[in-house]
Amino acid sequence: MLLQVPGLLNPAEVAKVRGLIDAGDWADGNATSGAQSALAKDNLQLAEGSPAAREAGVLIREALTRNPLFMSAALPHTVYPPLFNRYGGGQAFGDHIDNALRFHRDTGVRIRTDLSATLFLAEPETYDGGELVIEDTFGAHEVKLPAGDLILYPASSLHRVEPVTRGERVGSFFWIQSLVRQDAQRALLFDMDLAIQRVAERSGLDDPAVVSLTGTYHNLLRMWSEL
């Protein structure tokens, strides 16, 4: 499932995050790469343990917990502390698949990467190129979103960042271990949750159909979730 989460951060929150990270110390992005990714990756990255990354990451994780669309789609068990990168001057990240497991040295967080997320922190008109290209069975999808919008997609997807030929592409990226491991099951639960909300808006939460569908949703979640 490929899902855009619009307005995860509002303009003031984007400005606050940018103020924190722009003043931080940036280094070669291969500090967090696996051996294969390092061959394809050319960007700058904010050090994971830096105060700027930690403070900005807290703001993003708080925004995630407030966002019902993200919570419904991701069903998060654990969110990896957000990382930050920037591309400019022709920098890019070639085709790769994210590592299945991630370990955060500073916090001890260890997760299975079910979902990948990219939060855009620069307006698309301020840079050329830099599209996130995600490939699935339906082909290649180019993603370039307004600042504050997030794209959520299976971490098993082949993806890349196209070269940035003007300006700078700045973003945050991180991974989610979901309560539900299988993407197809998460997609079914997400569609069902949205349908229940639409029926409830028309008929009310006490409508017998809403009560029954809600019970089925939770029974499926109980069957498929991993804790």
- Residues 215, 159, single domain; the answer is no
Query: What residues contact 92, with CB distance under 8 A and at least 6 apart?
Result: 42, 43, 129, 160, 161, 162, 163, 164
pLDDT, tens digit, 9 for 90 and up, residues 134-172: 999 889 999 999 999 999 999 999 999 999 999 999 999
Residue range of the domain that includes 109 = 3-178
Query: What residues contact 196, with CB distance under 8 A and at least 6 apart?
Result: 210, 213, 214, 217
Q: Three-state DSSP class for 133? A: strand
Q: Residue 21: which pLDDT band, with cuts at 50, 70 and 90?
A: very high
- Residues 133, 32, single domain; the answer is yes
- Residues 11, 47, single domain; the answer is yes
Q: Residue 102: which pLDDT band, with cuts at 50, 70 and 90?
A: very high
- Residues 126, 207, single domain; the answer is no
Task: Compute the distance between CA of residue 123 and CA of residue 14 in angstroms, rounded to an integer.
Answer: 10
At 105 the pLDDT is 81
DSSP H helical ranges for the chain: 11-22, 35-40, 51-66, 68-74, 183-203, 208-224
> Does residue 116 register a pLDDT over 60?
yes
At 49 the pLDDT is 84
- Residues 98, 201, single domain; the answer is no
pLDDT, tens digit, 9 for 90 and up, residues 37-74: 556 789 999 988 899 999 999 999 999 999 999 999 99
Mean pLDDT, range 170-196, rounded to an integer: 97
Structural tokens at position 158: 């082949």
- Residues 30, 85, single domain; the answer is yes
- Give the H/E segment covering residue 154: strand 150-154
How many domains are contained in the chain?
2
- Residues 142, 43, single domain; the answer is yes
